[in-house]
Chains A and B, each alone.
Chain A
């Protein structure tokens, strides 16, 4: 084998070995990465991705350290051959001579080296020179790979990744089916259900939560179906009900005001009870069945409404708690607005109850229920009228939005007078409108039917607006809570700062001392020998008082101290800052050379600053010590400031440190 081919073979072998090691390393890393990814997927997808990222960085570092990405060079293979053949770097020189073409003896040297290595190359086997040697760590890692692969398979079987199955969660699937199977659902409900399904899919929601949500959705579905059924029935009954019903309703409306029982304000307007199609045409048994059904529906509606009312009340209560501060600030305005809102509410309610000949003013809905129970003849017309009026009333009330609902509470609490006025006005207007609308009801049944349809639309709009308003309110609540928390933290910080600053602040100390002075003041008075030292500073006065030197001045200082203490409490922060500034000035920062740039130090300017000493205080003016130096010369005889006789001459002492210095190396031999 020639040396050239041996070098090439060795190099190829090295490249193959390195590639194999690289491959095995990547395989191990990928296996471990996959296991980590799948294990952490349940904890959080972001954690899995983060782990993969970290793993990539670690792999890059290891590849860099272990030179796994480096391509095998010829020098490497030559060194390996030299090591194996014991040729004392001859192969390296042989390889280097290929590039040294300027050397006239290059070929001779190459041939000489090759000739010298011929006996060693004769029995050379490259496979023995460059065997595939795996590191111990990598070898052990490879042993674990089958286990890892089994683990990956098990994890993949158990875990359902989003890419594999979109709706793996059964609850989410149910929700999606529900939306697909009921296309007649309102759009808002559909979107909420879809959001719920996605939330269930993305986040781990318990079965109970999903069940509750499903129950709610079913209830809403049933309600919407019932509404639809009522609407269709009402349309059918609209055709059947004639002028007699209108007359009957008018009569009943005239009879009802004699009750005079006002309904509670908080009760919302109930849904108008669907009237039977026609009593004259239907049999009494059918009528009874219809009545029963209607009563059951009414009861269900009442229950639903009550639950809604309770929820609304709770929300309003929360809003009230949050708006207490706002209401305090706007108390004057809120009284007025409460009145106005009460008026608007009463007007809205009057609109609903006006046609039902209600003297109660605000409770048109409750009366609607009463009227439905009183007579079947009047129910048809009342239903239409109430629907129409409800639509308009809802519009009015729901347009008022947040202010109307908030104003209710604020008006109830703060503006009771306005409420009473609103009630009275509402009653009067209700009486007037009931008469007028009773007459109008006979005439405008067709118009009211249209108004009923508009009322449905208005209801939906109102619900949407109310939902938006609620979401906005929730955001506001969160902001307020955060603000409160921040404020509490800030106040806590201020308090702690005050506590820390109190001992430093003179006012605070004086106030404390002042309290202690009152107790201690009597003892020195009994002694009567204490002198009044007097003090300029109030803090000192306080201290003196604390030491127990009572007199008029100290008493005055005590009172001053107390006053100051009282006065300083709100301004403790200022005192604290002053005291801290005083400490800083005591411990002024020393600047080293090149430091304190911009802080009063020289900064980068190395050197000295020129300073001028005022000439007036100088005994010798240096300006006149040049050529005319005689001007500054002191002609008087020199005098000792202290006579030598006064000074006791001390005997000089040898410095011990200098006497015990080590002998330098160069003089060590000489001294020895």
Chain B
């Protein structure tokens, strides 16, 4: 249901229920393929319905790529995969002008779209490409458009980048710059499956039939539904005290501020920017709607702050030496009353 069609509280409630229903259906369909990783799936889908990009980090073989493929298949949207390598050029991502000859023999430059022109783009092992190629994604992720040889091309809507990176094999990698990291709404850490999950994975993937995700809705309908859901997310009421809480939490993670904790002052070099607070707010709103509420609660903020902020905290060498991670610092702030 579109926001404009909401006339009374019943309509609003119905819209919220539709949102939750759609989300649950997609989640369930992905869950048919992906064993476990419920939190990862939920965070990824929340980010998609909030209009953000997702960075999945985990060792090889955990099913990151499969997760992204399953989501894209479930959503029924166009999907492209870019395997990032050191020799990948920006034009390989965005596309380039190609000299073509028409039937009449007339030659002209035409723009050949790159793999970025899709609803869901999987940037596999994004940290293996050079910074130049990584930078080709900056405009696309933020502006939803690309510029090639001075010509701007808008991307498809909805547009989501689901990137993966391997935290172990660091040789021949180029760590993502802070500007690139900041453009991802969440950074989800993919954990190895438990014994039961692994058993289930084995039984599902090594049997005779391999389950495949099916689209919940058709491509057009899904595109429309996603747009409506993104509109509804923005309708969530955020009371002034809740905003105050979020601002104080951001300040607590920024060194040198009045609310900064001891850990922050000691280990954090740069705190989260405004984009981080925006990401937290949007994810919290999705969380509120999934709880059938039209208002944001403190619990929502607490539940989403960790994946939304962890990649935005830039720690110093002292933190690395003391084996202190961003999650430790955020957890301290989150658990504070």
Contacts and interface: CB of A to CB of B under 8 A. Distances in A.
A109 to B, nearest CB: 5
Nearest to A89: B297
Interface string A269-283: 000000000000000
Contacts of A90: 293, 295, 297
Interface size class of B (residues with CB under 8 A): 20 to 34
A112 B242 contact: no
A95 interface: yes
B317 A665 contact: yes
Interface string B1-43: 0010011110111000000000000000000000000000000
Interface in A88-124: 88-90, 92-97, 100, 103, 105, 108-109, 111-113, 115-116
B102 interface: no
A79 interface: yes
B241 interface: yes
B179 to A, nearest CB: 22
A108 B291 CA distance: 18
A108 B241 contact: no
Interface stretch (B50-58, B127-135, B143-151, B232-240): B232-240
B295 A105 contact: no
Contacts of A665: 317, 320-321
B11 A89 contact: no
A96 B240 contact: yes
Interface size class of A (residues with CB under 8 A): 20 to 34
B298 interface: yes
B310 to A, nearest CB: 20
Contacts of B241: 75, 79, 92
Interface in A635-672: 665
B13 A112 contact: yes
A177 B250 CA distance: 81
A89 to B, nearest CB: 4
Contacts of B246: none
B237 A108 contact: no
B294 interface: yes
Contacts of A103: 237
A95 B297 contact: no
Interface string B281-325: 000000000011111111100000000000000000100110000
A90 B296 CA distance: 8
Nearest to A82: B297
Contacts of B294: 93, 109, 112-113
Nearest to A79: B241
A105 B235 contact: yes
A89 B296 CA distance: 7
B239 A89 contact: yes
Contacts of B295: 88-90, 92-94, 109, 113
B239 A109 contact: no
Contact of B237 (A88, A93, A111, A115): A93
A461 to B, nearest CB: 78
Contacts of A88: 291, 293, 295, 297, 299
Given A79-B241, A97-B237, A111-B9, 8 more contacts: A89-B296, A89-B298, A93-B295, A108-B6, A108-B9, A108-B11, A112-B13, A115-B13
Sorted nearest first, the 9 A-B pairs with minimum C-beta distance are A93-B295, A111-B9, A96-B239, A112-B9, A88-B297, A89-B297, A93-B237, A92-B239, A108-B9
28 contacts: A75-B240, A75-B241, A88-B293, A88-B295, A88-B297, A89-B295, A89-B298, A90-B293, A90-B295, A93-B237, A93-B239, A93-B294, A93-B295, A94-B295, A103-B237, A105-B235, A108-B6, A108-B7, A108-B8, A109-B235, A109-B294, A111-B8, A112-B9, A112-B12, A112-B13, A113-B295, A116-B293, A665-B321
